[in-house]
Amino acid sequence: MFLPCDDEKNATVVECSGRPLKHVPPIISDRVIELDLSLNKLRDLTKRTFAGVPNLKKINISMNCRPTNLRPDKKKCSLSIEPKTLVKLKLLEDLDLSGNSLTTVPFLPKNIKYLNLNLNHIYTLTELDFAGLTKLISLQMGSNCYYQNTCEQEFSISEGALGNITSMEILGLSFNNISSFPRNLPASLLELYLAENRIWKIDKEDLCYLSKLQKLDLQLNCQWCDYIAQPCFPCQNNSALQLGLGAFDCLTNLTDLNLRGNSLPTMNSSLFQGLSTLTHLDLSDNRLDFAKETFFSKLPNLKTLDLSFNLGPYEYIHERLVINPIATAMKSLQQIFLMGYYFNILDSGIQPLLNLPNLKEINLGKNFIQKANLSMIWLNKRVRRVDLAGNLISFQKTCEKRTNELPASFSHRYKDNVSGLIELQHDRNVIYGNSKKGSTDCWHYKRSVDLSFNNLMALHSDNFVGMEDIEWLNISYNYINQRLDGDQFGNLKSLLHLDLSYNRFDLYHYFAFSELPNLRILNLAHNEYQFMLKGVTHRLNFLENLTNLIELNLNHNMIGLRVTKELKNPSLERLFFRKNQLVNLWEYGKQAYFTMFTNLTRLKLLDISYNKLTVIPVEVLEYFPVSLETLIISHNDLYSFHWEKIIHLVNLTYLDLSHNSLTCLYSTSLRSKITSLNLKSNKITSVSKEFFESYLNLKDLFLSKNRIQTINVNSFPKQLLQTLQHLDVRKNPFDCSCHTSWFIQFLMETRIVVPRLSTDVICDSPDSMRGKLLPSMNPESCQDLYGQTCFVCSALLVIGLLVVSLTWKLFSWDLWYLSQVLVAFIRPYSKLPGPSEEYDAFVVFNTNDDAVTDWVYNELLVQLESTGRFNLCLEDRDWLAGKSSIENLYEAIYKSKRTVFILDHEGFNTGLLCHAFLMSHQRLLDEKRDVVVLVILDQTMKMSRYLLTRKRICPKTFLIWPRNPRAHRHFWHRLQKLLRKDSQHYYDPQLQKQLAQ
């Protein structure tokens, strides 16, 4: 294992791409012959970099330091290569140094055959750059000087730089700001690429010595810049590429010529006089007039011709497309592309093309054709593929029988409230791409027609006259709103593949598609319009008539309630049912749809992804057809799955439950034949041997993006590890402790393929290992040394902690009290630490007396606190919850400058007043401070000896609430003055002296 890289093909190929590495990892192996270091952040290659891999034959070091304008951060960088770094690799044949901002060609070994220097800053090629490279076959030097990789000079090739390399067959010089055709190129060239330069003229002398040339790319040298999205560079005065007389005469072996985008208004037929071997010609994006061009007569062996987007300088919309009759000379032509010519009428003007004996494909897409004589094309049985996508074709309306009555078979379909809301969720902003090569599957059929992205409003059997032998038909993206009743495709008896996606077809009629007895593939995806009509019944019974149907696509149709309860078809093998409403059909208590797929007796593949399922009822799994081989239930919300109910699916080999919310894997006692199980992107926390005992035939297991922390020796059965070929455990929060040591050792030794092991299998815990690679942990550090000693020590520690915790739980108060007694016995009295005198006064009163409480809150607090002068402490308001009353009382008295007693006729008889009275006198003894202030609310109360004594010794701290309201102001003045000063100021001088002692 070459961490942090992956190895393939018995450790002969090392993959280090996209890590991103700043230094080449130390790799030592004589077996390694290929090394991929692309898409990293390498900045320096020294002579020791590849010392450990002397037998390298192929190195990819591309895209490590792209040019400034191509970097997201727009920062400059450069890759430094020491002179002897690559020269020592004597066996090196293939070297990719593209995208590294190199300014010169590095020193290279003599055996090099394939060299890529694209996307650098090399502007000049000299004779010394390639001296001694006698085996060089391919040189790519493109994109060194163009609008995204700017330079202040013209790319140049000195005399003798390339001409002496007699082995060179392929040369790429595209995107280099070259203004004239390069001279002194190797005469051995077979392919030459000069696209998007600034070459304005080509003469016979430029090409004559390249007689072996087979492929020549000269596209986009003199661009026509109308409506061009990217930067455009026309030739001087918007002129076309100048092709000299007999420019291509010497290229007798040329098979592929690309002259796209050179503003050519016409093509002199003499240019192709000597190109008898030419088979592929691209003249798109020029300004040719097909009705006048005569060069067709010189191309008898041409097989592919691209004439797309040939717009005139003034006239952009043509009335009709006319091809010069001389085009019939192209007897070998098989494919012709005529996209983007923009004309209204398709008629006999293209007859010369239809007369070609070998024509197999004609592409007329993106022309905005409004009227078309399609029967003219259909009747040409030699044409296998017709592409009319992206036009405005609409079939002519035929006479229909009109009736104001709804057929009886539809009478029960609508509720009384037919005008229910319609929720349209179509995305009409669909862009069809370049379809030069057409659909990848249409060539499997004898004849195919593409009418997608048109303006078809309705379909009738007369529209398809002459198409009896068509096997593939695409009518997608027309948004046709029509009821199919078995009469629309009557002339398509040979049709095998029908694509009706992105329309609005009504499928209710029993005989829909019944006129297509041989139909094998039917695509009805994105026909959700009818299924979104609320209160409408939907039927899919038409499937019973399609006895040869193999594949059905019902994706994105929002199929939910009020639909056929059972789908029936004797031949269907693949059903795609994504993005529908199975969550509504399979709710508990709604058993009507549990057997929806049961009667598809030959079904092999069922895809019910994206149906918002949280659980699949047991009965549904039991009723799945036994013939199933592939079951896809991904991208739902499953939190549980009845594993035991899929055992009866004896043919099931692939099960996809990815992107759900599964947390546990429950074991079953039965065996399954599943060979591929996909559980990625769930919430699984652990894997157990008991679960996988039922899946011993697994070859591919996907567990990436879960919450698995540990995989140990008990996670998988030994028999499974012998058959497993692919194990994906990426992006799990692994615990890189000694519990994982077995798994690390297993990864080092196993033959099972573990993808991205060196990049995406990362530790999440402990903190010291977080973010590091799991294989970087050394399993030898977890050897079981001193195991018994550690066990005894840990056991004693646990027992000790247990005894201490139980003792503290049961006897904590007793122990605390005993400790306080001992401390008090040993140490004299000391005041508790903490902030002192946080309050100006602690007001203590009988809280059970409503009158007293009302006086305190509405009179006392208003006069003292509301003015902001004093901060008072009250029992109900300021005592802390959770503390004992004695603790709160202690803190209230000792943290207050005064203790104000509010007394009524009961005096100190209440519990709190009595305790506060005693504790305030204790403070007098401890601190020699008298903090007591008495406020008598009831003048009729019986005076105790203490009160009388207090009144005599310190009368100013003995206040009586006056009955006369006019005296209240004087009362508050006295109380405020008393709270500001120490009580000793109001004592008899002799008494003050005694207190001081």
Residue 404's pLDDT band (cuts 50, 70, 90): very low
* C-alpha dihedral sign at 717, 720, 722, 728: negative
- Of 863, 858, 887, the residue nearest 875 (C-alpha): 887
- Do 873 and 892 touch, CB atoms closer than 8 A? yes
- Of 991, 952, 977, 950, the residue nearest 841 (C-alpha): 977
Topology classification of domain 122-287: 3.80.10
Provide CB contacts within 8 A for 131, sequence distance 6+: none
Whether pLDDT at 877 is above 60: yes
Q: What is the mean pLDDT of residues 408-417?
A: 40
Residue 397's pLDDT band (cuts 50, 70, 90): low
Pairing of β 13-15 and β 6-8: antiparallel
Residue 315's pLDDT band (cuts 50, 70, 90): low
Whether pLDDT at 622 is above 90: yes
- Do 947 and 908 touch, CB atoms closer than 8 A? no
Tens of pLDDT, residue by residue over 230-255, are: 788 889 888 999 999 999 999 999 99
Mean residue pLDDT of the chain comes to: 87
Pairing of β 343-346 and β 371-372: parallel
pTM strictly above 0.75 = no
Q: What is the mean pLDDT of residues 87-105?
A: 95
Residue 708: C-alpha distances to residues 2, 403, 740, 748, 776 (Å): 25, 65, 11, 19, 18
Residue 352's pLDDT band (cuts 50, 70, 90): very high
Tens of pLDDT, residue by residue over 966-977, are: 888 898 888 888
| Residue-level pLDDT at 413 | 46
Q: At what angle are helices 911-927 and 885-894 packed, to 10 degrees?
A: 50
Q: State which amino acid sits at residue 525.
A: A
CATH number of 841-996, picked from 3.20.20.20, 3.40.50.10140, 3.40.50.10860, 3.30.460.80: 3.40.50.10140
Q: State which amino acid sits at residue 248.
A: F
**Beta strand ranges found along 456-520 (DSSP E):** 472-474, 497-499
How many other CB atoms are found less than 10 A from the CB of residue 372? 22
In this predicted model, which residue has the larger pLDDT, 708 or 981? 708
Supply 409's token pair: 């078979």
Q: What is the mean pLDDT of residues 300-304?
A: 97
| Residue-level pLDDT at 245 | 92
Q: State which amino acid sits at residue 824.
A: A
- Do 309 and 282 touch, CB atoms closer than 8 A? no
- Do 176 and 145 touch, CB atoms closer than 8 A? yes
Provide CB contacts within 8 A for 882, sequence distance 6+: none
Backbone angles phi, psi at 678, to 5 degrees: -110, 110
**Residue with structure tokens 């191309």?**
299
| Residue-level pLDDT at 931 | 87
Tens of pLDDT, residue by residue over 604-616, are: 999 999 999 999 9
Residue 527's pLDDT band (cuts 50, 70, 90): very high
| Residue-level pLDDT at 522 | 97
- Of 110, 90, 111, 86, the residue nearest 100 (C-alpha): 86
Which of 339-343, 430-434, 839-843, 955-959 has the largest mean confidence? 339-343
Tens of pLDDT, residue by residue over 552-589, are: 999 999 998 889 999 999 999 999 999 999 999 998 76
Q: Do 122-287 and 841-996 have matching folds?
A: no
| Residue-level pLDDT at 396 | 67
Q: Is 441 exposed, middle or buried (0-12, 13-18, 19+ CB in 10 A)?
A: exposed
**Residue with structure tokens 């012998």?**
722
| Residue-level pLDDT at 435 | 42
**Which secondary-structure segment (H or E) carries 876?**
helix 875-878
- Do 177 and 149 touch, CB atoms closer than 8 A? no
CA 450 – CA 475 distance, rounded (Å): 7
Return the exposure string of 824-852: e unless at least 16 CB atoms fall within 10 Å of the residue's CB, then b: eeeeeeeeeeeeeeebbbbbbbbeebeeb
- Max CA distance (Å), the chain: 141
Out of 26-40, 186-200, 314-328, least confident range: 314-328
| Residue-level pLDDT at 408 | 41
Domain boundaries, the chain: 1-97, 122-287, 841-996
Q: Is 537 exposed, middle or buried (0-12, 13-18, 19+ CB in 10 A)?
A: middle
Whether pLDDT at 384 is above 90: yes
Whether pLDDT at 915 is above 70: yes
| Residue-level pLDDT at 60 | 97
Our CA angle for 630, 635, 639, nearest 5°, is 95
Provide CB contacts within 8 A for 945, sequence distance 6+: none
- Do 217 and 282 touch, CB atoms closer than 8 A? no
| Residue-level pLDDT at 952 | 84
**Residue with structure tokens 């006729």?**
905
Supply 976's token pair: 């405020």
CA 709 – CA 743 distance, rounded (Å): 11
Provide CB contacts within 8 A for 723, sequence distance 6+: 696, 697, 698, 699
Pairing of β 80-81 and β 304-306: unpaired
CA 361 – CA 333 distance, rounded (Å): 9
| Residue-level pLDDT at 985 | 62
* C-alpha dihedral sign at 16, 21, 27, 33: positive
- Do 959 and 935 touch, CB atoms closer than 8 A? yes
| Residue-level pLDDT at 123 | 93
Supply 158's token pair: 């000195």
| Residue-level pLDDT at 553 | 97
- Of 311, 314, 361, 356, the residue nearest 335 (C-alpha): 361
Percent of the chain surpassing pLDDT 90: 57
Residue 489: C-alpha distances to residues 465, 467, 495, 958 (Å): 10, 10, 9, 112
Whether pLDDT at 415 is above 60: no
**Which secondary-structure segment (H or E) carries 726?**
strand 726-728
- Of 866, 844, 996, 856, the residue nearest 913 (C-alpha): 844
CA 99 – CA 475 distance, rounded (Å): 43
Whether pLDDT at 258 is above 50: yes
Residue 267: C-alpha distances to residues 131, 259, 271, 819 (Å): 41, 11, 8, 111
Residue 761: C-alpha distances to residues 11, 730, 951 (Å): 20, 5, 86
- Of 162, 180, 4, 2, the residue nearest 761 (C-alpha): 4
CA 53 – CA 37 distance, rounded (Å): 14
Tens of pLDDT, residue by residue over 930-950, are: 888 988 988 888 888 888 888
Q: What is the mean pLDDT of residues 168-194?
A: 95
Q: What is the mean pLDDT of residues 253-273?
A: 95
Topology classification of domain 1-97: 3.80.10
In the three-class reduction of DSSP (H, G, I as helix; E, B as strand; rest coil), residue 115 is classed as strand
Whether pLDDT at 428 is above 80: no
In this predicted model, which residue has the larger pLDDT, 505 or 9? 505
| Residue-level pLDDT at 437 | 44
Provide CB contacts within 8 A for 374, sequence distance 6+: 346, 388, 393, 466
Which spans in 182-286 are helix H? 204-207
Tens of pLDDT, residue by residue over 688-720, are: 899 999 999 999 999 999 999 999 888 999 999
Q: Is 768 exposed, middle or buried (0-12, 13-18, 19+ CB in 10 A)?
A: exposed
Provide CB contacts within 8 A for 199, sequence distance 6+: 178, 179, 180, 181, 218, 221, 241
| Residue-level pLDDT at 418 | 32
| Residue-level pLDDT at 423 | 32
| Residue-level pLDDT at 56 | 95
Compute and round to an integer the Cα radius of gyration of the chain.
Answer: 46
- Do 453 and 475 touch, CB atoms closer than 8 A? no
- Of 443, 458, 540, 455, the residue nearest 497 (C-alpha): 443
Tens of pLDDT, residue by residue over 30-88, are: 999 999 999 999 999 999 999 999 999 999 999 999 998 888 888 889 899 999 999 99
Whether pLDDT at 166 is above 60: yes
- Do 484 and 505 touch, CB atoms closer than 8 A? yes
Our CA angle for 210, 213, 215, nearest 5°, is 140
**Residue with structure tokens 């157990």?**
688
Tens of pLDDT, residue by residue over 797-844, are: 999 999 998 888 888 888 888 888 888 778 655 555 554 568 889 999
- Do 39 and 14 touch, CB atoms closer than 8 A? no
Residue 955's pLDDT band (cuts 50, 70, 90): confident
Q: State which amino acid sits at residue 711.
A: I
Tens of pLDDT, residue by residue over 865-876, are: 887 788 899 988
Q: What is the mean pLDDT of residues 619-639?
A: 96
Residue 173: C-alpha distances to residues 126, 133, 336 (Å): 15, 19, 28
- Of 699, 765, 775, 778, the residue nearest 736 (C-alpha): 765
- The number of helices, as runs of H, and strands, as runs of E, in the chain is 18, 44
